[in-house]
Amino acid sequence: MCGRYTETKAEALLKARFGFGNDLPVEPRYNVAPTQDAPVVVESRETKRRELRLMRWGLVPYWAKDVAAGVKAINARSETLEGKRTFEPSFRKRRCLVLADGFYEWRKQGGKRQPIRFVLKGAEPFAFAGLWDRWKAPNGQPLESFTIVTGPPNELVAPVHDRMPVILLPQHEALWLDREVTDLAVLKPLLVPYPAGAMEAHEVSSLVNNARVDEPACIEPGDGGVRQLSLLPC
């Protein structure tokens, strides 16, 4: 699964990379956690242009009775999107780019859990494959929320966890956003593990274990002082 991630890049860099046209203040995030708002890019139904929006992490389907439904829907398994009432409608019609520049997983070391941050080489921003929906509260207030699609891990992530978020290849992002594409046979091939050789991993501070801590120290070297690992042993 993916339960924490980072997005530390400035809005100007994100706009240049992902091509959205609107302005929306984006603060650096070092420990994004479920139920928090985070930046995603969608394709506007009216203009067909890309828009940056802030949405709540944890997809609340339009038919849900309560916002708490989103707590169990922070991730969506790529293998079972089709046929899932919570996810299939969004898979067909409401896909988004979840903006990020790293994600965390935890490796067991003795009696402790060591947080590892996975990033692209060069520290470039990237996009998770995301799904979104719009729910209305009983008072009529709308809520937009998203989930991150996960799949099998690549060779770098596998020693730490048996799942990883789907990072879209840049050349696949436009197709993923295209609202006119509803054929799942076209979309499913995009949901593959990102090449391990294009990524690297770092042990980071245990501060990230606390979801209330969101500061640069979260991505600093781990308690043991190890900064970067190109291969994580089992």
Q: Which residues are catalytic?
A: 2, 105
CA dist 120 and 194 (Å) reads: 10
DSSP state of 72: G
CA dist 200 and 136 (Å) reads: 40
CA distances from residue 207 to 66, 101, 213, 221, 222 in whole angstroms, order as listed: 32, 18, 7, 11, 9
CA dist 55 and 28 (Å) reads: 15
CA dist 180 and 44 (Å) reads: 11
As given in the structure block, the two tokens for residue 69 are 């439904």
CA dist 171 and 176 (Å) reads: 10
As given in the structure block, the two tokens for residue 3 are 């339960």
DSSP state of 54: E
DSSP state of 229: B
